[in-house]
Each structure stands twice: as structure tokens, then as C-alpha cells.
Amino acid sequence: QVQLEESGGGLVQAGGSLRLSCAASGRTLSNYGMGWFRQAPGKEREFVAAISWSGGTTKYADSVKGRFTISRDNAKNTVYLEMNSLKPEDTAVYYCAASPNTLPPVARRSYRYWGQGTQVTVSS
């Protein structure tokens, strides 16, 4: 029904920045809360950031607060994750997800649609 595709991942040095994009197709995301999750090798997928459908409410994991910024452009059906001051521990596959909840949820089970992920590697 809804397809999500992430882009913008890559290899950066510690302290650098990356901007991830999540493009949606199939239908509008204007009534969906959107989230970013990440999964490092051997670890469970964890919450990173979320944004309400209107963009008026955001939520961040403590580990990225102050460094990452989530935003959305509903006219373009696109969600962004600006990542600054990157650390080696940020290395993971980053996934974009969409939830029917207009409020930004944290739990993975609240999200209905998922992208395939984009690799972010931060070297020291």
C-alpha cells in the first residue's frame, strides 16, 4: 500500500554530518506519524526520532537529542533526518517508518510501514 525508501546514508568521520531522506509512494503521508529507527549489528532495532503528521510535535531518543533533527514535507511525501556531530556509536542501518497514529509513537509495533534501510557508518 505504502512504500518507503531511505537515501542519504554513507561513510563519514566522527563529528561529521549526514542528511537522510525518506520518500513515500502509493499514498500521502499527511495523516501519518513518522519515525526513524536504527539497528546495529547484533542489537535490537531502537527508536531514534519521531514527528507528528503536522510536524508540530517531535520526540527524540536521549542518545541523539540535540544532535539530530527530524522534519517532514507533506507536500513532497518526504521525511528527513538531519544528523550532526556524528559518533561511532551512531553506526547502524537506519529505517524510516510510518504509523497511522498522528502522535509520534516510540514502540516499533506502532508502525505499519517500513523502508528497507540505509547504512550509516561513522569512523573514528
Instruction: Give the contacts of 48 (CB within 8 A, at least 6 positions apart).
Output: 35, 36, 37, 38, 60, 61, 64, 68, 81, 94
Residue 35 predicted with pLDDT over 70: yes
Return the SS3 of 89: helix
70, three cell numbers: 527530524
Question: pLDDT tens digit string along 37-78?
Answer: 999 999 999 999 999 988 899 999 999 999 999 999 988 889
pLDDT at 74: 83
| Per-residue model confidence (pLDDT) at position 51 | 95
Q: What is the mean pLDDT of residues 82-98?
A: 97
Q: What is the pLDDT of residue 29?
A: 65
Residue type, 49: A
